[in-house]
Amino acid sequence: MIAAAVLAALATACVLAAEALIRARWTWHAPRTAILLWQSVGVTWGLATTGALLAYALEPYGRGVVHGLAGVLTTFSYGVHDLRDLVRLTALVAGLALLALLVALPLTAGAQTLRARRRHRELLSLIARDEPAVPGVRVVDFPGAAAYCLPGLRSEVVISNGTLSLLSPDELHAVLAHESAHVRERHDLVLLPFAALRRALPWSRLIRDAQASVELLIEMAADDRARRQCSPRRLATALLRFGTATATLPTPDGALGTLGGTPAGPARMPGRPKSTAGANVMARVNRLVRPEATIPAPHRFLILTGSVVLTASALLLWLIPG
């Protein structure tokens, strides 16, 4: 019973930690450390929630989750004698279903993402052109401002024609350094499980906010890496130029629309504070222009150790009997 109770407490602690991380601002001073902490909280939450259900269900066996589960699954029998056993059986089914879901979700999301990227890559090869002024970058003839990275084994950095006329050469250099940072640190893989959870549970405010936090942290991590190669001030002005560029929107049939307003597309989720996009740009600009002291190394080390201990404790609790 103890393992189940501790795992349940751990799962609750992870939810509280996520709430705290969403509100926290120290994370902006150490985005990489914060991203690792987010990953650890996410994995621990999954292990603890499923572990609590399974530990409760398998408690009569007294052999812990891993061995108990192996026993039940190999003999394929679970003795039901009274109502209490029935509740335990329900917990067993719920735990296994949740576990399967948490494994399957990122896998299917990954497959879907790969398909979307392949289609995008095929279209790029037919449409994008090389521009002598920016070697190694694909250019799409589109008047609006767009700069992004298509991750993969052969990652590609893509910008629109509009970006070329919007930015000065120094600013363009800064944007490209930022996008290369995404490529090099494989930020798409960090985002994948959060995006998968978000798709599975679109109504969960916590998951939505968590995904948004991680997205912003990844941008900040890329800004930090880019500033080693470019002027942080030019990266900041590039950000502001993008943020204030008139939103030229493509419509699916190929026509272009210019909206004075925010992209009114379905991307703006209901219930999300409207200020987010602009506030995020300002937050990134501020930390580029006025870099505040980073979090001291010992503190960062402490946070990293905490992350490891957190996840390791959930794993241990899967093993201990009772």
Partner 1 sequence: MKGLGELERTIMDILWARSAPLTAREVGRLIEDRDLAPTTVMTVLDRLSRKGFLNRTRDGRAWRYQPAASRDAYVAELMLEALDLTGDRDAALTRFAQAVSGSEAEILRRALTELEDH
Residues between 108 and 127 with contacts to partner 1, criterion CB under 8 A: 109, 112-113, 116-117, 120, 122-127
Binding partner 1 (rule: CB under 8 A), the pick from 88, 173, 198, 227 is 198
- For residue 120, give Cα distances in angstroms to 5, 123, 139: 47, 5, 14
By CB under 8 A, tell whether 291 contacts partner 1: no
By CB under 8 A, tell whether 236 contacts partner 1: yes
Radius of gyration of the chain (CA): 24
Closer to partner 1 by Cβ: residue 233 or 299: 233
What residues between 242 and 281 interact with partner 1 by CB under 8 A? 242-247, 249-256, 259-263, 265-267, 274-275, 277-279, 281
Amino acid sitting at position 286: N
Contact 53, 68 (CB under 8 A): no
Binding partner 1 (rule: CB under 8 A), the pick from 192, 283, 295, 320 is 192
List beta partners, residue 147: 159
Ordered alpha helix ranges (H), the chain: 2-23, 31-57, 64-75, 83-127, 161-166, 169-185, 187-200, 205-226, 232-244, 276-289, 297-319
Binding partner 1 (rule: CB under 8 A), the pick from 137, 144, 213, 318 is 144
Sign of CA dihedral 39, 42, 48, 54: negative
Closer to partner 1 by Cβ: residue 89 or 282: 282
> Tokens representing 164?
């070329």
Shortest Cβ 294–partner 1 spacing (Å): 22
Closer to partner 1 by Cβ: residue 84 or 115: 115
Shortest Cβ 98–partner 1 spacing (Å): 22
